[in-house]
Structure 1
């Protein structure tokens, strides 16, 4: 029995889960969805939020840099909007026709009889559509997405950037409501000052690269970070993943940045760049593929 235990331990693979970002990770940046998404966000800011067109680029850059996503930043500085409407507008006009079935990636994923999970800041509708276009909808155990970490009924501003329970007031010192009107925090003016300081309004939206968002995702999916490979095209998301003990793979470049254990020019280079995934592989016949779905919250 002791010999069998040692043998099984020796055969145990180094990783038991692969955690994948979606956009610009499972397909290349050259597909053009990222550029189209960026333009759609700018259009939404002008058409739906009434933001001056001349301020869009600078404002968007500041929000993305300081809050992880433009959407999270817009909510932080005082703009109120329907999340589903935002996602429908931003993703509804994307050139999904640019995405084609990827049998090479499909075969790679299906050759690995270990857990595979999607973790994206995007909404569920977008995630499912991308996976369907790529022909990968049955290659993943589940999807952790915007709705997973941001239940729609929780819409208050957190007093703590990493407080995913959203306890606290919907009114902050930086975004006060007067006569049913919310004053917008001028983040452009804030950073134009000689010494702007670090005090910014908090966002109710939980998303990467927040460490708390990553920790909650791991908790929801019951993932052990020390036995998980995290695939991302974003350096700052990779670095956040490293802070919670994930093994990290930067996708889209062969240059390994700080925080990345591996670097892949393309996700297709997976076998060559990370051979450890296949080492000591335990063959499992009839490994059940599961339809991609949002991973349910466990009690």
Structure 2
């Protein structure tokens, strides 16, 4: 005899953006990152200082990230050099261990993944500073979505899309494939309205983080990621129900085995 739980959980996976989602905008990392991008454009690409801020805004809005925009309009540079310049000088010391978030994440037995446009070094540095790097099953980063071309490939080969990143649908679809997740049972947390709207369009349940009010495309809004338990008590209820089901199943199995042995 086998115990079967007839009530399936609504969610099976929690998918988290990193920057300004798992840590607050007030950390100052986003402002520092924006300044570093501007410096990179001026110092490394020779873009005129007078129009660089406006150009950066245009590229970001059109292509999702400044890096994707620069590549799309023809600028050539090494990805690792860019990430080292832009992320390598961020004030990571502003990020402190977050025991509240850590406890929230560890108390949920669902699959938990990070989905970031940032490079892997940046993602891991931030997660380690927050002391939550071991709370996630997998990290989907810039390198995950944009693997390096094999040396054996044609040197003249250029991908149709120079950089795959949120908020493009292809980035989400690739993430789903890589992580083998079902968007219908996945709760997606992100601070970007554009990312949330694309997430909703591809079937995710969406949570806008850092805002008190929902926008088009968001199913929920959280002022802080720390408000998860107040906003989604059912996640913890499902967790308790699953544990109870496991307990009943185990007890039933022991009971049956005991009676057989007797």
Both structures adopt the same fold (TM-score exceeding 0.5): yes
Distance 2:193 2:133 in 1: 26
Moved over 4 A (4+): 168-171
TM-superposed CA distance for 1:270, in Å, is 0.3
1:129 aligns with 2:132: no
Query: Is the 8 Å Cα contact of residues 121 and 145 (structure 1) preserved in structure 2?
Result: yes
The one of 217, 226, 241 aligned to 2:184 = 226
Query: Is the 8 Å Cα contact of residues 13 and 279 (structure 1) preserved in structure 2?
Result: no
- Tell me what 1:216 maps to: 174
- Tell me what 1:249 maps to: 207
- Tell me what 2:218 maps to: 260
Deviations 1:105-142 (A, max 9, x none): 00000000110000000000000000000000110001
1:276 aligns with 2:234: yes
Distance 2:138 2:158 in 1: 32
TM-superposed CA distance for 1:275, in Å, is 1.9
- Tell me what 2:6 maps to: 9
TM-superposed CA distance for 1:169, in Å, is 6.8
Flag structure 2 segments of 5+ consecutive residues without an equivalent: 151-155, 247-262
The one of 41, 46, 71 aligned to 2:42 = 46
Distance 2:168 2:234 in 1: 28
- Tell me what 2:164 maps to: 206
Return the TM-score normalized by structure 2. 0.87
Q: What secondary structure, in the 3-state scheme, does the structure 2 residue paired with 1:269 have? A: helix
Computing the radius of gyration from Cα coordinates, the structure with the larger value is 2
- Tell me what 1:153 maps to: 149
Deviations 1:51-81 (A, max 9, x none): 0001111100110010000000000101000
Aligned residues: 239
Flag structure 1 segments of 5+ consecutive residues without an equivalent: 155-167, 172-201, 286-299
- Tell me what 1:99 maps to: 95
TM-superposed CA distance for 1:152, in Å, is 2.0
TM-superposed CA distance for 1:153, in Å, is 1.9
Distance 2:158 2:23 in 1: 38
TM-superposed CA distance for 1:249, in Å, is 0.4
TM-superposed CA distance for 1:274, in Å, is 1.7
Distance 1:267 1:119 in 2: 15
Alignment of 1:15-164 (within 5 A): 15-153=11-149
Q: What secondary structure, in the 3-state scheme, does the structure 2 residue paired with 1:104 have? A: helix
Query: Is the 8 Å Cα contact of residues 207 and 213 (structure 1) preserved in structure 2?
Result: yes
Query: Is the 8 Å Cα contact of residues 75 and 203 (structure 1) preserved in structure 2?
Result: no
Return the TM-score normalized by structure 1. 0.77
